Chain A
Amino acid sequence: MNVIECEHLTRKFGRIRAVDNLNLGVPKGCVFALLGPNGAGKSTTLKLLLNLLRPTAGRATVLGCETTRFKKDQFQRIGYVAEEQIQADWMTVSQMLDFYRPLYSGWDATLESRLRAQYELPEGQQLKRMSRGTRMKAILLSTLCFRPELLLLDEPFGGLDPQVRDDLIEGLLETLSGDRPATVVISSHDISEVERLADWVGILSEGRLLVAEPMTQLQARFRRIEVVGPGVGEKRIDPLPQSWLKFQSPTPTVVQFIHQAFGEAGVAEAQIREFYPQAAVSASPMTLREIFLAHGRRAIPSKGEEAQ
């Protein structure tokens, strides 16, 4: 069962399509990492899922409720943390928690005290006087304590030092490890940290969803291929198979590319052998960062190129 369902979700700002025909399903209980370069539409997607923005076209359903019909009760089950949010920063941590606590029926006081101890927050200091990382901790704390069923995090680790990141992640993991594991959607640039948490990955580029699948499947599907043999670099292949990305030949005897459909190894190898029957072929697994960069550098043709 999917916690989030998007059908042809589109949001335009003037002529710019920030989110373009997004079809997405996020299964319950997963940690979904929404990756993409700047301006890819990650934050806009999250805002559409929270009904902060209204879709230009299409629809999105979150926890079984269409976003445009969100009421107060939906936010008893959804947590949202974003750096850009305007908080009542005149409050201290205690005042903030005192303010939020009565608003939630499922507030977990035990988790609150545990996280307060773990995060070591300065209780009497106003939010506006806190460092960025401490402030994020306080806000995350106020979000985790009501044990949301769905947690949306918009660039939660941006600009934080490793110690603070670890603290935040520990808190997140603790929430996820409870008897009611939450579904988490994280939009981030910080791929290495996300990689530790995420079990599903979605990659957005120019408002369009390029990839959305389990992390293991994604990593199994992508391989860096190196073909070595006499004259392989001089051989012209036209057109290139669609599953080959970033094809290049650094030397006349070497060809490198990324194969994005390597899941069935036998089939992929046979396809390569079809073009390079005598060459030595090696396939090495890729990190999430490499996969992301492969997409981020326009490895997939843009709309204009497709049209041509």
Chain B
Amino acid sequence: MKNLCHLLAKDLRRFWPLLLLSAGILAANLCLTLNFYGSPFSYQGGSQLRPLLMQLLQVACFLLAFVVPVVVIQEDQVTGVRPAWLTRPIRPGTLLASKLVFLLLGLSVPAAVLNCVASGYLGASFGAVASTATSTAEIVAIIFLFAALFGAFTKTLFQAVTALLGVLVCLVVFSMWFASAKINIPRPPWPWPSPFHHSAETANFIGKIVIILAAIGALGHMYRWRRRIQTLGVLLLLVWAGAVLGRYLPFDFPPPGPDTSFPSPNAAGIAVQVYSPESLAGPRAAASGGPVRAEIQPDGSVRIAVSYRVQGIPPETFLKVSSGLITKIDLADGRKVDGARHAITGPTNAMARIVLEDERRMEGAPYSMTGTTDNRPAVESALGLPPSAARPRTFEIGTDVPASVFAKAKGQTARAEGVVLLTPFAYRILYKFPLAVGVNHRIQGEGWQVRAMDGIDDGAWKLVVDYVGTRSYISTSVLTGDPDPLVLALVNSERNEVSISESGSIIGTWMCGFSVQTIQRQFVQRRPRAGGPAVRGIDADWIRHADLYILAPSQGVPFLHNIADNHLEIPSVAKPAPPSALIPAGVTFKAGSPAE
């Protein structure tokens, strides 16, 4: 431990300017981002130079994430016989540990701390901040570990960069080989009861841990033996073992949860003001929304929801609500403010956070992102819905606040303030192929294959799709820690139906390393049936005419919008549970319609 600190101090003395530079770039990037997102008029009124500067800073961040580990490792070279530390009383393990601690403290922790600051600035809860910090630290750790491997295998920064480029080129060139290898590795039967009943998030977490351990293992081997070829062999073996084991692990998806939609009539009131970006919706295409509402649920908790409407969004665009929160709720009526505040326990942010990640639902109608917009009137007619022109596109987000928070506030009024982060997306179609097991579509080394469909005509329907190919590993989606840059959509062209309603997420078999990955999704097609309540599931006849679309979203500029000065009525009586999460009361379906 004493030696570790000693070595750490030496590296700190050597590289403090580099650390200062990286912290500065991270901070500048963050400040600029916060400043950019903090203003609702930033896109329209801001300088065009600012987005460019932000991109440059992000590139600088990635460069630093590679360069710093390489030079830190190469300060005490691992290869060759000339480094002086090899003939000094320094244990290789201690040296490696000091380097890893240095990188952890110098890169991971600052990145995590700065992200915490950003999340806090945006008003996220403590739990969300902690989650962001952990996630950021993990991603940075993975990046710097692999950069450190390049540093350990080479003697100069130039060699490391050349090696990185070489590896990337190899991945691209041999991606076909990897893809065919993946296709030809069948998933062997698991003879015992499954010990894994994890969610996809847990699988992702385990995947990250496996990657981190594999990289540390390879580094440890390199430091212990200083033989590049052997270490490379070990690393490839770990990757191969990960790929094979990844096929064995029978991760299970959790059963579908309760419906999280918030159907309610739109009342008049002060609402969210949404300004869509020019490139997607025209300049200053304003939208309006509903007020913040508070509804006491049957279990006593208070559901706070806000609905908003968006206008001028092109057909292949939708808004993803990244997060939203009510930052402040003052029980108003002037004289009772103090007492009302006293009734609210805990930090306001944590109390009133609204989160509904990945909301991609168009209320009550087929989603029109793949060109079925023109047929919308027919579909709407079939569904018995009002015409599009009269029916606003309404989105909602909300959260359930525990009953105890508003225990003393029932029947009172309040004023609510908060923010919603909106992210517009446009979509382009990458692949389209019939939705049938075994069908695949590949272009060169990259493509998709439908591996399994379970639960047809029987409740929750699970679709398992293999993504074959390796190119995603060199895309920024991996570097930024977003392993899901793609969206799967089911399109029944005969019925003009598109479904992207889904639950579950990518299962993180990208722990398999650099070879291939499997993406599993569990779709829950909200499939209303005539004469009865909406049920989950999908019908065989629907699938028969369906195609699977692989879509790539291109993210627009997110906006942070204020919810200000909302008048809030907190009822004192719980409302009854809604009979249906999706279908408005009184709607009937015609024969031959999708709701059949």
| A interface residues, Cβ below 8 angstroms from B | 47, 50, 52-53, 71-73, 75-76, 78-80, 82, 84-88, 90, 95, 99-100, 102-104
Q: Give A105 to B84 CA distance when docked, in angstroms.
A: 18
Q: Are A73 and B89 in contact (CB under 8 A)?
A: yes
Contact with A along B71-87 (1 / 0, CB 8 A): 00001010011111011
B residues less than 8 Å from A71 (CB atoms): 91
Q: Report the separation of the CA atoms of residues A163 and B86 in the bound assembly, to the nearest whole angstrom.
A: 30
Q: What are the 8 A-B residue pairs with the smallest beta carbon separation, nearest first? A: A52-B81, A80-B87, A75-B89, A72-B91, A86-B82, A72-B89, A85-B84, A76-B89
Q: How far is the CA of A34 from the CA of B82 in the complex (A)?
A: 20
Decide: A86 and B77 in contact? CB cutoff 8 A: yes
- The answer to whether B87 and A102 have CB atoms under 8 Å apart is no
Question: A85 — which chain B residues lie within 8 A by C-beta?
Answer: 82-84, 87
In the complex, chain A residues whose CB is within 8 Å of the CB of B83: 85-86
| A52 and B87 form a contact (CB under 8 A) | yes
Contacts of B84 in A (CB 8 A): 85-88
8 Å CB contacts to A: which residues of B1-30? 2-3, 6, 10, 13-14
Contact check, A100 vs B87: say whether CB atoms are below 8 A apart: no
Q: Which residues of A contact B335 (CB under 8 A)?
A: none
Query: Which residue of chain B has its CB nearest to the CB of A105?
Result: B89
Question: Would A50 and B87 be within 8 Å (CB), given that A88-B10, A88-B14, A102-B2 are in contact?
Answer: yes
Residues of A within 8 A of B81 (CB): 47, 52-53
Distance of A72 from chain B, by nearest CB (Å): 5
Q: Given A52-B81, A102-B6, is A75 in contact with B75 using a C-beta cutoff of 8 Å?
A: no
CB nearest neighbor in A for B5: A102
Interface residues of B (CB under 8 A from A): 2-3, 6, 10, 13-14, 75, 77, 80-84, 86-91
Question: Is B89 in contact with A52, judged by CB distance below 8 angstroms?
Answer: no
Enumerate chain A residues within 8 angstroms of B3, measured Cβ to Cβ. 102-103
Residue of B nearest to A152 (CB): B87
Please, how many angstroms separate the alpha-carbon atoms of A82 and B82 in the complex?
9
B6-A103 in contact (CB<8A): yes
Residue numbers in A under 8 Å from B89 (CB-CB) = 72-73, 75-76, 103-104
Contacts of A99 in B (CB 8 A): 6, 10
Among residues of B, the one whose C-beta sits closest to the C-beta of A78 is: B87
* A47, A80, A86 pick with most chain B CB within 10 angstroms: A86
CA gap between A85 and B84 in the complex, in Å: 6
A-B contact pairs, 8 of them (CB 8 A): A50-B86, A52-B81, A86-B77, A86-B82, A86-B84, A87-B84, A88-B10, A95-B13
Query: Which residues of B are found within 8 Å of A53, using beta-carbon distances?
Result: 81
Known: A99-B10, A102-B2, A102-B6. A84 touches B82 (CB 8 A): yes
Inter-chain contacts of B91 with A (CB < 8 A): 71-72
Rounded to whole angstroms, the CA-CA distance of A47 and B14 in the bound complex is 28
In the complex, what distance in Å separates the CA atom of A113 from the CA atom of B6? 22
Chain A nearest CB from B306 CB (Å) reads 57
* C-alpha gap A85/B86 in the complex (Å): 10
A103 in contact with B14 (CB, 8 Å): no
**Known A88-B14, A88-B75: A103·B82 in contact at CB below 8 Å:** no
CA–CA, A205 and B14, complex, Å: 43
Chain B residues with CB under 8 Å of A104's CB are 89
Which residues of A have CB within 8 Å of B14? Answer: 88, 90
The distance in angstroms between the C-alpha atoms of A80 and B14, with both chains bound, is 24
Known: A75-B89, A88-B75. 7 other contacts (CB 8 A): A52-B86, A75-B90, A85-B82, A100-B88, A102-B2, A103-B6, A103-B89
Residue numbers in A under 8 Å from B6 (CB-CB): 99, 102-103
CB-based nearest B residue for A90: B14
Min CB–CB distance A198 → chain B (angstroms): 22
- Selected from B2, B10, B90, the residue in CB contact (under 8 A) with A72 is B90
Enumerate chain A residues within 8 angstroms of B80, measured Cβ to Cβ: 86
- Tell me, in angstroms, the Cα distance from A130 to B71 when the chains sit together: 23
Residues in B whose Cβ lies below 8 Å from that of A88: 10, 14, 75, 84
Distance of A88 Cα from B74 Cα, bound (Å): 11
- Min CB distance B478 to A, Å, is 34
A103 touching B88 by the CB < 8 A rule? yes
Contacts of B88 in A (CB 8 A): 75, 100, 103
Contacts of B77 in A (CB 8 A): 86
Q: Which residues of chain B come closer than 8 Å to A75, judged between CB atoms?
A: 87-90
In the complex the two chains form, what is the Cα distance from A80 to B87 in whole Å? 7
Whole-angstrom distance from the CB of A177 to the nearest CB of chain B?
A: 24
Query: In the complex, which residue of chain A has the Cβ closest to the Cβ of B14?
Result: A90
Q: How far is the CA of A82 from the CA of B87 in the complex (A)?
A: 11
Residues of B within 8 Å of A86, CB to CB, are 77, 80, 82-84
What residues of B have a CB within 8 angstroms of the CB of A78 in the complex?
A: 87
Q: With CB as the reference atom, state the residue of chain A lying closest to B92.
A: A72
Complex formed: what's the CA distance from A219 to B229 in Å? 48
- Which A residue sits closest to B82, measured CB to CB? A86
Determine how close the nearest CB of chain B comes to the CB of A259; give it in whole angstroms.
40
Nearest Cβ on chain B to A265's Cβ, whole angstroms: 45
* B377 shortest CB reach to chain A, Å: 73
Question: CA of A75 to CA of B6 in the docked complex: distance in angstroms?
Answer: 17
Residues of B within 8 A of A73 (CB): 89
Q: A76 to chain B: which residues have CB within 8 Å? A: 89
A residues in contact with B13, CB < 8 Å: 95
- CB neighbours (8 Å) of B75 from chain A are 88
Assembled-state Cα–Cα distance A191/B90 (Å) = 34
Give A90 to B17 CA distance when docked, in angstroms. Answer: 14
Report Cα–Cα, A186/B86, bound state, in Å.
19
B502 to chain A, nearest CB (A): 55
Closest to A139 in B: B84
Bound-complex Cα distance A100 to B88 (A): 8
Question: Which among B3, B80, B82, B87 has the highest number of chain A CB atoms within 10 Å?
Answer: B87
Least CB distance from B508 to A in Å reads 39
A99 and B2 alpha carbons, distance in the complex (Å): 12
* Residues in chain A near residue B82, CB distance under 8 A: 82, 84-86
In the complex the two chains form, what is the Cα distance from A72 to B3 in whole Å?
12
Bound complex: CA of A99 vs CA of B3, how far in Å?
A: 10
Report the nearest A residue to B3, measured CB to CB: A103
In whole Å, how far is A101's beta carbon from the nearest beta carbon of chain B? 10
The chain B residue with its CB closest to the CB of A77 is: B89
| Complex CA–CA separation, A24 to B87 (angstroms) | 22
- Give the CA-CA distance A159 to B14 in the complex, in Å: 30
| Distance A90 CA – B82 CA, assembled complex (angstroms) | 17
Q: Within the assembled complex, what's the spacing in Å between the Cα atoms of A47 and B83? A: 12
| B330 CB to nearest A CB, Å | 59
Q: What separation, in Å, do the CA atoms of A95 and B88 have in the docked complex?
A: 16
Q: How far is the CB of A103 from chain B (nearest CB, A)?
A: 5
Q: How far is it, in angstroms, between the C-alpha of A88 and the C-alpha of B14 when the chains are bound?
A: 9
Which residue of chain A has the shortest Cβ distance to B76 in the bound complex?
A88
